[in-house]
Amino acid sequence: MVQRKHVLRMLATEAGFPNWEAYRQALECMAPEQLPHFDVIRMASGYPNLWFSSHAEALSHAQEHGGRVMKVGHQAVLLAEVQSTDQAGQAQDSTSG
């Protein structure tokens, strides 16, 4: 059975920390800019996102195709750029008529 302590340990490991206690202490000192994986705005990008086995591979792809690279453990994910509501509405209006 998965318990809360298992999830906390997983979060710490994915962030590169040896355990939850060390990660929790580090979180208290971090600025929001240092926590891109908690960026709620990116939830609007949806799935699937492009995953890469290394940060370098993701950066290379992003330079050619755009998007925002986020390191996840030893891997990386490329998040699509999210349009603002105004931009999305304008794009939709221009194609519908």
Interacting residues of 34 by C-beta distance below 8 A, sequence separation 6+: none
pLDDT tens, N- to C-terminus, the chain (97 residues): 889 999 899 888 888 899 999 999 998 888 877 776 666 555 555 566 788 999 999 999 999 988 888 888 888 888 876 554 444 444 444 344 4
Give the global pTM. Answer: 0.41
Sign of the Cα torsion 27, 53, 80, 45 reads negative
